[in-house]
Amino acid sequence: MENAIDIAKKFALTSEPVKAEGFGSGHINSTYRLECEDGSVYLLQKINNHVFADVDGLMNNIDLVTSFLRKKIEARGGDPMRETRNIIKTKDGKNYYQSEDGTYWRVFVFIDHTIVLQVVEEPKHFYYAGKAFGNFQKLLADFPAEKLTETIPNFHNTVSRYRDFERQIAENRSGRAEECAKEIAFARRYDWVARTLYPLIAKGELPLRVTHNDTKLNNVMLDEKTGEPVCVIDLDTVMPGLSLYDFGDSMRFGTNPAAEDEKDLDKVYCDLNLFEQYAKGFLEECGDSLTKREIELLPMSSITMTYECGIRFLADFVDGDHYFKTERPEHNLDRARTQFKLVADMETKLDEMHKIVAKYV
């Protein structure tokens, strides 16, 4: 079987690859920091093709989106090699390589002098994350959405997510459903949350835009010295979606001062100061283009996206951990618990969130 170095040799690198080390913290793909003989560094990734069934469509999306962004970044005098992902093609000019064992690989330019955070360390980091994702949305406002493949159909369709959740609980492939009866009961008590955003698209109340759809704090690279945003990464789920998905998912991950998989739930809550930091940054960048209805729903989107992630983690736990990477048997359950703790906490803070949003529109 080909190892990471053999695979790297298929790509048009500046010199021979010599070292590949595990890197990053994504729950889906596997990432390596790749070093070459001449000292140049790249990012090598194995794409999870169980999650992304159409790798060709996925990589074509990333090629289209990054090419589009590069032009905009150049036009405003930015650095297109740092401020967006850049695909390194294979020696035969393809966006990815399929190895002999059927796995899929890609290489990106490595962006140095940046940090990626798992929790907010200084409030300004989250303000900058808000600016990064708000700006990302602004830059893609005139991207021709019809050119994009839907890499994961119904990705944020919370109505079908809830149906899948009930089906996986009923199937109980892991036999662990009883172990999490309390969490299942919570998910059912809050099932109304699944109907707060998605159905409004069909009713014409919310516009589809080109959105990132996976806006966790660790999907933005910040300058190691200043903390200012450098580059939005993890473009696998850039698809038509709601601005509210991007806003809410950032709040889900970033307003919690503890880790997504923290076992001590006393440490898990929604920090409203952090909520304010992100809201300010996001709205400064793209607030002008949001509709009244979108703005009204910004606070609620934090709950909806956190709930969605919670039922996905819980369903995967009961299903036997086939989707998200896990490091311990209870990992997905621990993650579901933090999400549900946040949902309940955010619910008590909705009024405050509305007051904060009102300050920046």
Q: Which positions touch Mg ion (CB under 5 A)?
A: 26, 219, 234
Alpha carbon separation from 63 to 128, 235, 243 (Å, rounded): 25, 10, 22
Residues 6+ apart with CB under 8 A from 289: 137, 138, 141
| 237 or 277: CB nearest ligand GN1 | 237
Distance of closest approach, residue 353 Cβ to ligand GN1, in angstroms: 20
| 47 or 356: CB nearest ligand GN1 | 47
Does 246 help bind ligand GN1 (rule: CB under 6 A)?
Answer: no
* Both tokens assigned to 199: 């159905």
Alpha carbon separation from 148 to 1, 141, 153, 190, 211 (Å, rounded): 33, 14, 12, 33, 11
8 Å CB contact between 239 and 146: no
Specify which residues 41 forms β-bridges with. Answer: 35
Specify which residues 190 forms β-bridges with. Answer: none
Best CA proximity match to 16, nearest among 39, 33, 45? 39
Q: Which of 214, 246, 316, 321 binds ligand GN1 (CB under 6 A)?
A: 214
Q: Which of 219, 243, 256, 326 binds ligand GN1 (CB under 6 A)?
A: 219
Identity at 41, one-letter amino acid code: V
Alpha carbon separation from 289 to 217, 282, 284 (Å, rounded): 23, 11, 10
Rounded to whole angstroms, the Cα distance separating 47 from 95 reads: 12
The residues in 118-137 that bind ligand GN1, with binding defined as CB under 6 A, are none
Contact range with ligand GN1 by CB under 6 A, out of 172-180, 229-237, 273-281, 286-294: 229-237
| 234 or 294: CB nearest Mg ion | 234
Distance of closest approach, residue 219 Cβ to ligand GN1, in angstroms: 6
Partner that binds at residue 28, options ligand GN1, Mg ion, none, CB closer than 5 to 8 Å by kind: ligand GN1
Rounded to whole angstroms, the Cα distance separating 283 from 291 reads: 12
Distance of closest approach, residue 241 Cβ to ligand GN1, in angstroms: 12
Distance of closest approach, residue 253 Cβ to ligand GN1, in angstroms: 7
| 26 or 254: CB nearest Mg ion | 26
Give the number of C-alpha atoms closer than 13 A to the C-alpha of residue 98, restricted to the C-beta side. Answer: 6
Distance of closest approach, residue 210 Cβ to ligand GN1, in angstroms: 17
Does 116 help bind ligand GN1 (rule: CB under 6 A)?
Answer: no
The residues in 286-315 that bind ligand GN1, with binding defined as CB under 6 A, are 309
Distance of closest approach, residue 214 Cβ to ligand GN1, in angstroms: 5
Q: Is 361 helix (H, G, I), strand (E, B) or coil?
A: coil
Distance of closest approach, residue 218 Cβ to ligand GN1, in angstroms: 7
E strands of 215-337, at which residues? Answer: 220-223, 229-232, 239-241
Distance of closest approach, residue 219 Cβ to Mg ion, in angstroms: 5
The residues in 22-81 that bind ligand GN1, with binding defined as CB under 6 A, are 26-28, 51
Contact range with ligand GN1 by CB under 6 A, out of 31-39, 63-71, 230-238, 270-278: 230-238
Best CA proximity match to 147, nearest among 228, 62, 30? 62
Partner that binds at residue 260, options ligand GN1, Mg ion, none, CB closer than 5 to 8 Å by kind: ligand GN1
8 Å CB contact between 95 and 88: no
Does 234 help bind ligand GN1 (rule: CB under 6 A)?
Answer: yes
Contact range with ligand GN1 by CB under 6 A, out of 91-99, 164-172, 199-207, 233-241: 233-241
Contact range with ligand GN1 by CB under 6 A, out of 2-10, 88-96, 232-240, 280-288: 232-240
Full DSSP string of 84-110: S--EEPBTTS-SSEE-TTS-EEEEEE-
Quick one: CA dihedral 328, 329, 332, 333, positive or negative? negative
Residues within the interface to ligand GN1 (CB under 6 A): 26-28, 51, 214, 216, 219, 234, 236-237, 260, 309
